[in-house]
């Protein structure tokens, strides 16, 4: 599972900017959809150098959630459609950081805005890109999370 701090951070961020949970986030004016399937294990392996088991998948019209295992260490990948502006996204991240007493760092050159929280056991990366919020949480390094996030941003761009 992602760390408790990561779960709190994502939950607070969504609650602050999406009071109706994800329903308020998924009504974009442009035709934005989530990918049809989770990233392949092969793609994740080539990006991260780690071997993952097959994902457990949950999909709706507005969200895709994928949970992978790597030797008992989970990696959660979530892609949700959104109509958030960069300032709304940043406000949600700021509120989540304050509520969880964490200090995320900004990641440059990744989507419209991206925030990273890394600890010894877990990495949490949240990205706003092309009408989507992409969240990676789990037992990967910051560099691995960023490589996977760049791949996912490219997937939602096309």
42 and 68 in contact (C-beta within 8 Å)? no
| Fold for the domain defined by 4-157 | Phosphorylase Kinase; domain 1 (3.30.200)
Locate all alpha helices (DSSP H) within 1-136, ordered by sequence. Answer: 4-17, 41-48, 86-100
| pLDDT at residue 24 tops 90 | no
Write down the pTM of the prediction.
0.80
Q: How far is CA 52 from the centre of its chain?
A: 17
Q: What is the pLDDT of residues 60-90, one digit of tens each?
A: 999 999 999 988 889 999 999 999 999 999 9
Ranges of each domain in the chain:
4-157
**What one-character DSSP code corresponds to residue 24?**
T
The pLDDT tens digits of the residues spanning 115-143 come to: 998 777 788 999 999 999 999 999 889 99
């Amino acid at each position: 599972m992602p760390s408790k701090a990561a779960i709190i951070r994502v939950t607070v961020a969504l609650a602050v900017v999406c009071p109706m949970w994800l329903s308020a986030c998924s009504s974009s004016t442009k035709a934005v959809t989530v990918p049809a399937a989770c990233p392949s294990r092969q793609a994740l392996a080539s990006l991260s150098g780690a071997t993952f088991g097959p994902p457990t998948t949950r999909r709706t019209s507005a969200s895709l959630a994928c949970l992978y295992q790597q030797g008992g260490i989970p990696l959660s990948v979530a892609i949700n459609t959104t109509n958030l502006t960069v300032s709304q996204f940043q406000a949600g991240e700021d509120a989540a950081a304050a509520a969880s007493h964490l200090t995320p760092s900004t990641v440059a050159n990744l989507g419209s805005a991206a925030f990273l929280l890394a600890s010894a056991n877990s990495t949490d990366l949240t990205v706003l890109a092309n009408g989507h919020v992409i969240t990676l949480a789990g037992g990967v390094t910051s560099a691995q999370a960023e490589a996977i996030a760049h791949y996912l941003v490219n997937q939602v761009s096309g």
